[in-house]
């Protein structure tokens, strides 16, 4: 017996996709995107970079290993929704502490399963990311389209997912102190730094350069996060004032913020990069890294001319810039996520490079007596 549909996805161009609800029974307008990862749905759901986005998982089976307590990227998931082909509500995993659906219901995140995710992902690829409504199956198309047309997607996502006050994470045998600007940071970035003997002080997205320098950091990290980098001019201005005063490492949104602070430009991609299998060429070594990505915006390659930055990495799928650096000012950034492990350790060296920059800066300060 075929069950009656309980959910519907309406795209702003009039396309409709019927399915069944799981998670929260909520109506939500989001930007719809797709992710090609075969695993990692818990990390995706809890990654603040997906705030206000409905994620279409192209891998067909989702939920089968449940939700493990230690695998959250942030404690409170803020994704706009999750759309899957087949949802498994009976996970088989000794680490599982809850089902995916139960966690989504707890945090008010709607889900839809039973959808032709291949067709939906093709639509996003061909026509681009756009607004989508997750609603009841009985919602009339005209009503859904009117709601989509009248709803503006928010531009304050970073301020909503950033920490509200500084917090410090200690490490054993601490050698360096990193101040991390939290634009929606994944906790695995903090773990990666602590493994390298770095104490990490996390500060809000709008912390001033003076407040950060008063903490006497050996280096500053600008984190990943959601949305358009031009929506956070305060963070861009802070980064601009920090350049030359301390080593800086930017990841994902942080890469875009650092590039804007140096005078480059960014633009929105048609459907973004989201998945765990994106090949990136390191222009300095020629090596190919298999990377995890999650972003809608990219740095304009032509706009790097005249700035202090040079390109270090390029995406082999579409030629977009994936990394920049300035050795003189000891800054570097990458568009992808070195704290993830799709390679599985192809990009972990970037944290080591950041540590090396801090060591060189400390040595330079000692030699010059300051």
Q: Which residues are catalytic?
A: 252, 337, 339
For 192, 249, 308, the CA distances from 288, given in Å and listed in that order, are 22, 21, 25
Residue keyed to tokens 């601009």: 240
Provide φ and ψ at 115, rounded to 5°: -90, 150
For 78, 268, 308, 350, the CA distances from 188, given in Å and listed in that order, are 17, 26, 30, 14
Terminal C-alpha separation, the chain: 77
Rounded Cα distance, 232 and 253, in Å: 10
How many CA within 13 A on the CB side of residue 291?
Answer: 31
Q: Provide the 10 A C-beta neighbour count for residue 94.
A: 7
Beta bridge partners of 294: 274
| C-beta of residue 292 within 8 angstroms of C-beta of residue 43 | no
Dihedral angle over CA of 355, 189, 276, 336, nearest 10: -60
Q: Which two tokens stand for residue 189?
A: 């970035």
Nearest residue to 109 (alpha-carbon basis) of 141, 77, 87: 77
Residue keyed to tokens 């390029």: 314
| C-beta of residue 167 within 8 angstroms of C-beta of residue 37 | no
Say which DSSP state 50 is in. G
């Amino acid at each position: 017996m075929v069950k009656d549909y309980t959910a519907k996805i309406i795209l702003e161009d009039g396309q409709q996709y019927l399915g069944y609800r799981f998670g929260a029974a909520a109506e939500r307008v989001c930007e719809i995107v797709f992710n090609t990862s075969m695993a990692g749905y818990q990390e995706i759901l809890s990654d603040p970079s997906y705030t206000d986005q409905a994620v279409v998982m192209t891998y067909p089976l989702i939920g089968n290993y449940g939700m493990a307590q230690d695998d959250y990227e942030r404690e409170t998931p803020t994704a706009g929704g999750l759309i899957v082909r087949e949802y498994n509500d009976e996970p088989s995993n000794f680490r599982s502490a809850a089902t995916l659906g139960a966690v989504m219901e707890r945090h008010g995140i709607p889900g839809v399963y039973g959808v032709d995710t291949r067709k939906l992902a093709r639509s996003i690829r061909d026509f681009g990311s756009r607004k989508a409504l997750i609603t009841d199956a009985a919602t009339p198309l005209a009503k859904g389209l009117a709601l989509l047309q009248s709803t503006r997607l928010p531009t304050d996502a970073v301020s909503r997912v950033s920490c509200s006050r500084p917090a410090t994470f200690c490490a054993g045998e601490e050698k360096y102190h990193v101040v991390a600007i939290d634009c929606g940071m994944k906790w695995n970035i903090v773990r990666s730094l602590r493994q390298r003997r770095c104490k990490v002080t996390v500060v809000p997205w709008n912390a001033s350069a003076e407040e950060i320098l008063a903490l006497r950091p050996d280096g500053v990290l600008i984190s990943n996060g959601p949305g358009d980098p031009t929506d956070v001019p305060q963070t861009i201005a802070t980064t601009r004032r920090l350049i030359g005063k301390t080593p800086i490492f930017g990841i994902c949104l942080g890469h875009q913020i650092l590039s804007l602070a140096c005078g480059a430009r960014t633009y929105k991609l048609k459907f973004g990069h989201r998945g765990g299998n994106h090949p990136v060429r390191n222009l300095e070594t020629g090596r190919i890294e298999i990377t995890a990505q999650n972003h809608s915006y990219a740095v304009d390659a032509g706009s790097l001319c005249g700035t202090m930055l040079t390109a270090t990495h390029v995406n082999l799928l579409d030629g977009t810039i994936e990394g920049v650096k300035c050795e003189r000012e000891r800054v570097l950034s990458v568009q992808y996520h070195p704290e993830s492990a799709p390679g599985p350790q192809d990009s972990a060296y970037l944290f080591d490079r950041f540590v090396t920059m801090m060591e060189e800066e400390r040595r330079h300060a000692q030699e010059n007596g300051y």
